Chain A
C-alpha cells in the first residue's frame, strides 16, 4: 500500500481532533475524511480507532457496512447511474450495461486505467427525471432518450483515451 503523504495525514489528525469529544463520532469522522481525500485510507481508520477507544477492526467494520464509504481512490471521472425503482422501471439497467461497455469499468469498480469509476447508486430522489445519470457531478435526466448523456460520455472517453472510443 502506498504511503500517505504528510499533508493527508495532517488533515486526518485535524478531523479526528475536531470530533474527538463528540458522542459517537466515528461515522462523522469517516465522512469528513472521505470528503477530504476521496476515500478512507487505512491510516485514518487507525487514528479514528485510537481516538474513539475502539479497535481498528471495529472501525473497519463500520467502513465496510456503509455503502458510501470506500477504501479505494475513485477514478478520474465518476459516473453514477441511479438504480432506484423509478429509474429501474424506465431502463436504468440498460444504462449500466452501456456505461460498463463504453468505459470498461465494472459496476462499483474503477477501470483498469484508473480513468473511470462506475457507481450504481441508490435512489437519488430525482424520480421525475428517471432514468438519471451523473457524470462528475452533472446530472443527466431522461438519460436513455436522445443522445446527450451518451454523447457526453463518448466525448470524455475520446478526450482521455484518444482515437478509439
Chain B
C-alpha cells in the first residue's frame, strides 16, 4: 500500500522526484545532468500501435534490458498515442530524440544492441521526417512538420508519460489543480474561472461548459452527479479514446474538479465497450487515484468526497446523446427523452447531473492551473482554446492533431496532414461525422470555429475529419452515413425512424442507377422536415450529410441519375470489369485471387476473361494485375 497524499508538500516531493526521470523527454527541459546517461525508450501503446504488435515489442525490450542488466540506466515507458498512427508502431528514444517508425517486435534487439549499447542511431530503420538541416542526426520532435502547427493542451501528456503510472502524471504537475481548487477556491470561483476561459463543449454542440456547471450548482438538493461522456460513437473519431488511453488521470482530475464545482459526490464515466484498452487504463488509474487519496473520502483533507464508477456502453450510437446516455447508465434501453427537463435539473436517477465530453474535461485541470486568461488568449472569436481532430481517410499523415481554434482546414490537411497520398486530387473533407457535412476545396481557407463550420453546412462535431479524394463517390458517402443513422436510430420518434429509412431507400436507388431527378427535390424536402421535427440531436442532424453533398456535389447525383454513371467508379451496379485481351499475359493471378471463380483462361496459353454474371465486383483482379490488363468502366 502506497502512502496517501494529503498535503501540497507531499505532492511536490513526488513531483520533484519524478522530474528527474521525466526531464529527459519533456519539451524545453533539457538540462544535462548526471542523468543524461539515462535512456528513456517510449513505446506507443495506443490502439493503432497495439494492433501493430507494439505490446510484443515492449515486452521484448523489457526482456533485453533485464538480460543486459541495464534496469538502472534504461527506462522502457509504455505511453499513450503519439498521434501519428499511420507510422506506427512508434518508438521514441530520449535524450537522443530519435523517432523510429514502423518498428517491429524483432527490431527490439537492434535498438538495444546498436542504439542503446552501441550509441549509434540506426540509419536503416525507418525514422520520422529526416530533418535536412541537421543532416538527419538528431530530431526535435516538437519541430517536425506534423507537430509544428499544433498546440497540445488536451493531448498534453499523450505519448509523453506512462498512463499506468500515477507518479508520472504527478511529475507533470498532475493533481496540482485539484489541490488548488479544493484548498484555495470556492466552488463558485472554480465555475467563474471556467466561464471566463470561454471553454465550450467539445462533444460537438459547443455549449459553454461553465454555464452548464452553473445550472447544476444552482439546483437545490445534495444528491448530484457528474458524468464523463466517453461514448465516442462518431465513426472516424478517436481523440477521446486516445486521451483516455494516454492520459487517464487528466480525466479523473478534471472530473473531481467538476464535481467540487457543482456539488456532486459521485461520478460516472460512460465508455463504449469497443475501447478495451482505454477501459483497462481507466480502471488502473481509478485504483491508483483511490490508493493515493485523489478519489474517495476527504480528498487532500478538505472534507470533499468524490468517487467514480465506470459504465460500459454496448454498441448504440444514440447513447452519445445525453438523455439516452443517462437511460443507459440506469441499465435501460438507451433512448433519448424530450428536453426540458435538462439533465442539469433531472439527470441520472432523476437528480441534477452535468455531462461533459472527454476532451472538454481534459482541458479543465490546465485551465484551473494556468488561469482563464491564458486559455481564452488561444483561439478565435467565440471559439476559445484548441480542438483535437482525428485526421483520417485519404491523407498521408493519419492521426490526431490538436490545433488552436481559427486554424484553417488547409493548414490541417496540407501542412499537418501532408495532403492526399498517391498524388490523388483532394475532393472533400467530412467533419462532424454522421451529423456533419462535406466541405470542398473552396471552404479550405475557412478558419475553424463552431460558427464558421455551421455556416459552411457542416459542424464541429466531436472532431472526426475524413479526407476524401477523387476516388470517393459523394453519393455513396451520403448513403454510408444514412445507412449508419438508420441502423442507429432508436425508433422512438417517427421523423427519424421512418424519415431516415425513406432517405436511405432513395439514396440506394440512385447509387443503383434507378434514381430520378424528382428524388433530389423529395430528399431535400424530407431532410428539412426531419431537421425540424426529430426528437433528439441524432435525428435533427441526420440529414446534414445529404444536404451538404447535395449543395456541393449535385453534379455527382445527376451523373448517377441521368447518365447512369458513377464518376468515381465506386457504385457497383454502375460498374463493369473486363480484361483487355491485348494486355493480358495469361499469368492467371487474377483467376487465382477471384473469390467468385468468375475468371477463366489457361495459364500461359489463353488470355483470361471475366464472366460478368458471376463477378461480384470486388476489384481484387484489378488490384492484383501487374500488367494493367483489368479495366473498370
**A–B Cβ pairs within 8 angstroms, 11 of them:** A68-B315, A83-B235, A86-B236, A86-B398, A89-B394, A89-B468, A98-B620, A121-B274, A123-B238, A127-B238, A145-B623
Query: Are B595's CB and A85's CB within 8 A?
Result: no
Number of residues in B with C-beta < 8 Å to the partner? 60
Query: Are B236's CB and A123's CB within 8 A?
Result: yes
Look across to chain B and name the residue whose beta carbon is closest to the beta carbon of A130. Answer: B392
Say if the beta carbon of A17 comes within 8 Å of chain B.
Answer: no
Query: Which residues of chain A come closer than 8 Å to B329, judged between CB atoms?
Result: 24
Query: Are A85's CB and B616's CB within 8 A?
Result: no
Top 5 A-B residue pairs of the complex, sorted by shortest distance between their CB atoms: A128-B85, A66-B314, A26-B331, A24-B331, A86-B392
Query: Are B466's CB and A123's CB within 8 A?
Result: no
Q: Which A residues from 49 to 94 make CB contacts under 8 A with B?
A: 52, 61-62, 65-69, 83-86, 88-91, 94
- Measured CB to CB, the closest approach of chain A to B506, in angstroms, equals 19
Query: Are B328's CB and A27's CB within 8 A?
Result: yes
In the docked arrangement, what's the CA distance between A69 and B273, Å?
Answer: 11
Query: Which residues of chain A come closer than 8 Å to B464, judged between CB atoms?
Result: 85
Query: Are A85's CB and B392's CB within 8 A?
Result: yes
Evaluate whether A122 and B618 lie within 8 angstroms (CB atoms) in the complex, with A27-B312, A102-B595, A127-B236 already known. no
Say if the beta carbon of B472 comes within 8 Å of chain A.
Answer: yes
In the docked arrangement, what's the CA distance between A123 and B317, Å?
Answer: 11
Look across to chain B and name the residue whose beta carbon is closest to the beta carbon of A123. Answer: B235
- Measured CB to CB, the closest approach of chain B to A19, in angstroms, equals 10
Look across to chain B and name the residue whose beta carbon is closest to the beta carbon of A147. Answer: B593
Say if the beta carbon of B117 comes within 8 Å of chain A.
Answer: no
In the docked arrangement, what's the CA distance between A129 and B236, Å?
Answer: 12
Contact with A along B486-518 (1 / 0, CB 8 A): 010010000000000000000000000000000
Query: Which residues of chain B come closer than 8 Å to A123, judged between CB atoms?
Result: 233-238, 274
Query: Are B398's CB and A31's CB within 8 A?
Result: no
Other than the given A65-B316, A127-B238, 16 more pairs (CB < 8 A) read: A52-B331, A65-B490, A68-B273, A86-B236, A89-B466, A89-B477, A98-B620, A122-B233, A122-B315, A123-B236, A123-B238, A126-B238, A128-B86, A128-B88, A129-B52, A141-B52
Query: Which residues of chain B come closer than 8 Å to A69, judged between CB atoms?
Result: 314-315
Say if the beta carbon of A23 comes within 8 Å of chain B.
Answer: yes
Say if the beta carbon of A30 comes within 8 Å of chain B.
Answer: yes
| Residue in A62, A125, A141 whose CB lies within 8 Å of B331 | A62
Query: Are B334's CB and A86's CB within 8 A?
Result: no
Query: Are A124's CB and B480's CB within 8 A?
Result: no
Query: Which residues of chain B come closer than 8 Å to A128, judged between CB atoms?
Result: 48, 84-86, 88, 392, 398-399
Query: Are A66's CB and B390's CB within 8 A?
Result: no
Say if the beta carbon of B330 comes within 8 Å of chain A.
Answer: yes
Number of residues in A with C-beta < 8 Å to the partner? 46
Query: Which residues of chain B come closer than 8 Å to A101, judged between CB atoms?
Result: 595-596, 616, 618
Query: Are A85's CB and B52's CB within 8 A?
Result: no
Evaluate whether A89 and B273 lie within 8 angstroms (CB atoms) in the complex, with A52-B331, A66-B334 already known. no
| Residue in B86, B274, B333, B490 whose CB lies within 8 Å of A124 | B274
In the docked arrangement, what's the CA distance between A26 and B393, Å?
Answer: 37
Query: Are B332's CB and A86's CB within 8 A?
Result: no
Query: Are A125's CB and B241's CB within 8 A?
Result: yes
Q: Which B residues from 540 to 586 make CB contacts under 8 A with A?
A: none
Contact with B along A133-165 (1 / 0, CB 8 A): 000000101001101001000000000000000
- Among A85, A88, A98, A124, which residue has the most Cβ atoms of chain B within 10 A? A85
In the docked arrangement, what's the CA distance between A12 and B444, Å?
Answer: 55
Say if the beta carbon of B433 comes within 8 Å of chain A.
Answer: yes
Query: Which residues of chain A come closer than 8 Å to B207, judged between CB atoms?
Result: none
In the docked arrangement, what's the CA distance between A26 and B314, Å?
Answer: 12
Say if the beta carbon of B449 comes within 8 Å of chain A.
Answer: no
Say if the beta carbon of B619 comes within 8 Å of chain A.
Answer: yes
Say if the beta carbon of A97 comes within 8 Å of chain B.
Answer: yes
Query: Are B595's CB and A28's CB within 8 A?
Result: no
Say if the beta carbon of A25 comes within 8 Å of chain B.
Answer: yes
Say if the beta carbon of B51 comes within 8 Å of chain A.
Answer: yes
Query: Are B331's CB and A132's CB within 8 A?
Result: no
In the docked arrangement, what's the CA distance between A6 and B311, Å?
Answer: 29
Evaluate whether A62 and B85 lie within 8 angstroms (CB atoms) in the complex, with A27-B314, A89-B393 already known. no
Say if the beta carbon of B275 comes within 8 Å of chain A.
Answer: yes
| Residue in A23, A127, A141, A150 whose CB lies within 8 Å of B392 | A127
Query: Are B47's CB and A126's CB within 8 A?
Result: yes
Query: Are A125's CB and B238's CB within 8 A?
Result: yes
